Amino acid sequence: MYLLKKVIQLRENSHPDHEKPFLEHLEDLRVMITRVVITLVISMLLCFTFNKNLMAFFRYPVDQVLISQLEATLPADAPRPLTVETWGKARKLEHAAMNLPQAQREAFYQALNDEPLVFHTKSVGLLRAAMLLPEEKRIPFVDGLQETPEFKLQMKALLVTKPSTDSDLNGNLRMMSALKPTEGFMLSMKLSFVAGIVVSFPLLLLFVLQFVLPGLHASEKKVLWPAMAVGFGLFLTGAAFAYGWVLPRALLFFYEWSGGMGISNDWRIGEYISFATQFTLLFGVSFELPVVVMVFVKLGLLSYETMSRTRSYAIVGI
């Protein structure tokens, strides 16, 4: 409300001979808001057609954290080297075969007709069983298996690093779960809204400036245009920095911290998406904050005295 009053005062002071009634200022404001809302709705609907791509884009950082955690637990000195993809396939196959009778399980393995994959699939089930034993009984259990020496060496290497035996490669079945019927749809709408703001930002800025510029002098207009361009560039830089560098490290920190305390990282997809979008947008806004403050000072919307008086509140807020 304070900023709106200041803008209206600027519009009135710029043309003292042609002063507009207050209601006409409100009419101009209504037109601007209508244009902004219509533009946002259109851009949001366009972005909604790419909702799967948007979901994959925001899930990428957490998927990389999970994959890196799994890679760190795969034994490098095992007789048969493992990759994240191979171990993920083996876990899914073992999960499918674990409840089958012995004869049907062997028929399932024969139908796979992939000896290396069957080798790793069997190791998943036996590793899960061995991890339930006391630590001093795990190696004797492996030595007592009627398997090849190569398989036993593989099992011993797995017992050292203890990779996860969950059934899904990225933990999606447990972590990326929606607990409400409408949660998936609402997340798609939320992501489309965020993407719509970014995509339509130049138009939104144009509509806002069409409302503000009549109240500015020529010198102030010259400052505003380059400041807006630089500010938008800083926003994109901050958002990209947060998404590509800060967010993955923050997720890794929280993941390892919870794991170190014995807490299972069963994150909900809704909570994660909210955290990731807010985290990214806040970084973008913080990067453009110096330009915004400079523009407000130039336009007279903010003064040095006001900033000095409210410095302590700003520090606490930031």
- Determine the pLDDT at residue 8: 54
| Mean pLDDT, residues 41-47 | 95
Domain extent listing, the chain: 2-42+183-317, 75-161
Residue 28 pLDDT class (50, 70, 90 cuts): confident
The CA-based angle 108-114-115, given to 5 degrees, is 100
Three-state secondary structure call for residue 145: coil
Measured CA to CA in angstroms, residue 51 lies from 55, 101, 195 at distances of: 6, 42, 10
Helix (H), strand (E) counts: the chain: 15, 0
Q: Is the per-residue pLDDT at 132 higher than 70?
A: yes
Q: Please, are residues 188 and 51 in contact by the beta-carbon 8 Å criterion?
A: yes
| Identity of the amino acid at 206 | L
Q: For residue 1, give both structure tokens.
A: 């409300």
Q: Is the per-residue pLDDT at 42 higher than 80?
A: yes
- Determine the pLDDT at residue 209: 74
Encode burial over 157-191: b for 16+ CB neighbours within 10 A, e otherwise: bbbeeebbbbbbbbbeeebbeeeeeeeeeebbeeb
Residue 48 pLDDT class (50, 70, 90 cuts): very high
pTM, rounded to two decimals: 0.73
Measured CA to CA in angstroms, residue 43 lies from 38, 233, 285 at distances of: 9, 20, 20
Residue 169 pLDDT class (50, 70, 90 cuts): very low
Q: Is the per-residue pLDDT at 43 higher than 80?
A: yes
- Determine the pLDDT at residue 153: 93
How do residues 254-294 score in pLDDT, each as one tens digit? 988 987 888 877 788 888 999 999 999 899 988 988 887 77
Q: Poorest-confidence range of 114-118, 179-183, 211-215?
A: 211-215
How do residues 202-230 score in pLDDT, each as one tens digit? 888 778 777 776 656 666 667 777 877 88
| CA–CA distance, 250 with 246 (Å, rounded to integer) | 6
**Higher local confidence (pLDDT), 164 or 178:** 164
| Mean pLDDT, residues 185-210 | 87
- Determine the pLDDT at residue 98: 85
Q: Is the per-residue pLDDT at 173 higher than 50?
A: no
Q: Poorest-confidence range of 142-146, 228-232, 239-243?
A: 228-232
Q: Please, are residues 201 and 229 in contact by the beta-carbon 8 Å criterion?
A: no
| Mean pLDDT, residues 185-202 | 90
| Mean pLDDT, residues 155-167 | 86
Q: Please, are residues 221 and 213 in contact by the beta-carbon 8 Å criterion?
A: yes
**Higher local confidence (pLDDT), 59 or 214:** 59
Task: Centre a 10 Å sphere on the Cβ of residue 244 and count the other Cβ atoms it contains.
Answer: 12
Q: Is the per-residue pLDDT at 172 higher than 50?
A: no
Q: Is the per-residue pLDDT at 195 higher than 80?
A: yes
**Higher local confidence (pLDDT), 8 or 202:** 202
